[in-house]
Chain A
């Protein structure tokens, strides 16, 4: 994330005519990062309407990848193919390949996949249960045998909610504030120890202070977790992510290190978007 890399990549980018193929960019930008998700030639359809077009992307391990783009550009749809949440929508179709640690997720058991790839949604969606039961939910349904209490505490600590919630564990989750509810949802997702955490505009319903808390949380979670975040907010992408992918009309326009994408975008459309000329 430093200024030094930025300088190097600026020259690299000038050499590359148009960076669409993600493998080129990510190889060029961060050789150390192992790849967690490898998406190739992904197309997605709602009925006859195509929402994602021939998308290629690598999501590196233990890094935060941000997906930005104007509303309706397909970034949320794309994110939801990564844990196959789109399957809950009728009449949808996916063509292409998504590898998670080299395994095709479309061939995987969907329940197992979703245990490994957690998700946090746009609006906090705690279950109408106690705080404790919310966090324990994923453990219970995955047949966890052992001391639930410890894991609940651990997960709440990871989500930086423990201090605020420890005295109210058995109260309804609805008693929490919006920001606390969202952190509870993160704790709930973390409880099953996912390898990847997908965040679908997790801060769009929250105030700036809470947003800052969640961004800080993401920074700490990087050690144990790979994250992909869809966001409307370019400042958030710039602050919180290591890599950024810009999507437009269902296509991936540009993908590179965050610092590079925001300072020296190679595609004129990316530049137009990040400078606020549309979207």
Chain B
């Protein structure tokens, strides 16, 4: 009887442990499935036209998404200009100046903002930048993405600044450096690699955002000169093309998906490899 029980326990052990392994590798397999499918379908549809041509009118085949690629870059630039200063400065505040209670409140609020669904950020950006002027614009899209950049930048900046050993701060202050000079000349340079990594990851994340752009930047089938007009972006184009009933659009959606995913993954892998090599400024 007890031998039966032992056999049962041992088999359960093997079965369950195997299942956990299957689960882990299964999830990783999904990643490769996604990659493989996108490379296969997107690769077939990707050509030079995709990067150089404007979208063709409905019904005509061919054309590209040059305007959406430039649009995404312009939106990212705006997001960086609006979000990064706030994120970086607030990160410096939390790591170097913050007191107890107020810092806690800021950290909590930052986490809260980070958890707000992107579509709700879209509504907020709409009421800030679209309602007053009554039209969609690149700037409104930049506001939406800029807000999303802030919480990610704050937390990574704080984290990397905290990783700078306190002895470096003491060393600088003992030489008569004031606090801000210590931060500017010793602490920030020491954490530089990590902070840049955090910024790149934040931008990579918002580069793929679609929902907050739907009613802020909207979309555009043509070039969007300046900053005050509706503007196309890769994620919104993927969405529009994927739900449309035309095969040629589906083809282009795959191509756009491949380009977007490549950008996002290259940014992620690149920065993480740099970080793990210790180039992240966590030098001792």
Q: Which residues of A contact B (CB under 8 A)?
A: 83, 85, 88, 111-115, 118-119, 121, 123, 125-129, 137-138, 140-142, 174, 185, 188-189, 192
Contact = CB atoms under 8 A, between A and B. Distances in A.
A118 B175 contact: yes
Nearest to A126: B171
Interface in B172-209: 172-178, 181, 185-186, 189-190
B169 interface: yes
A127 B167 contact: no
Contact of A192 (B171, B172, B175, B284): B175
Interface of B: 165, 167-178, 181, 185-186, 189-190, 281, 283-284
Contacts of B284: 174
A88 B171 contact: no
A138 B176 contact: yes
B230 to A, nearest CB: 46
Given A121-B167, A123-B167, A125-B170, A138 B175 contact: yes
Given A125-B167, A127-B190, A141 B173 contact: no
Closest 8 CB pairs of A and B: A115-B176, A119-B174, A125-B167, A138-B175, A114-B176, A125-B171, A141-B177, A111-B176
A85 B173 contact: yes
A115 to B, nearest CB: 4
B172 A118 contact: no
Nearest to B192: A128
Contacts, number: 71
Contacts of B175: 114-115, 118, 137-138, 141-142, 188-189, 192
A189 B172 CA distance: 10
A134 to B, nearest CB: 9
A189 B174 contact: yes
A38 B98 CA distance: 35
A90 B176 CA distance: 19
30 contacts: A85-B173, A85-B174, A88-B169, A111-B178, A114-B174, A118-B174, A121-B167, A121-B174, A125-B165, A125-B171, A127-B172, A127-B190, A128-B168, A128-B281, A137-B172, A137-B175, A137-B185, A137-B186, A138-B175, A138-B176, A140-B185, A141-B177, A141-B181, A142-B176, A174-B283, A174-B284, A188-B175, A189-B174, A192-B175, A192-B176
Nearest to A88: B173
A126 B177 CA distance: 15
Nearest to A124: B167
Nearest to B100: A90
A129 B186 CA distance: 9
Nearest to B164: A128
Contacts of A141: 172, 175-177, 181, 185
Contacts of A123: 167
A230 to B, nearest CB: 14
Q: Which of A113, A118, A137, A174 counts the most B-chain CB atoms under 10 A from its CB?
A: A137
